[in-house]
Amino acid sequence: MMRDYRGHRDEVQGSPHFFLPDGSDVHNPGIGLRWEGDPGAGYPVVEDDDPGAYDALARRALG
């Protein structure tokens, strides 16, 4: 895991951030959010939550 992180550290947006074998990547799968408040001092507000997102990612990764 750490070898993969070091190889992509400039691309990682946060956790979880998945890099798939087909070269695509997904940050916060299944979560849609927006920011409230002042830039740099605000907070995220979750607007969407798709619990099936991880199943879909696993199917996609297995291709």
Per-residue pLDDT of the chain (63 residues; tens, 9 = 90+): 678 777 877 887 777 888 888 888 888 899 998 889 887 788 889 999 999 999 998 888 887
Q: Residues 6 or more apart from 25 whose CB is under 8 A from it?
A: 11, 17, 18, 19
Token pair in block for residue 44:
């995220």
- pTM of the complete model beyond 0.85: no
Q: Are 32 and 46 in contact (CB under 8 A)?
A: yes
Amino acid identity of residue 13, one-letter, is Q
Question: pLDDT at position 10, please?
Answer: 83
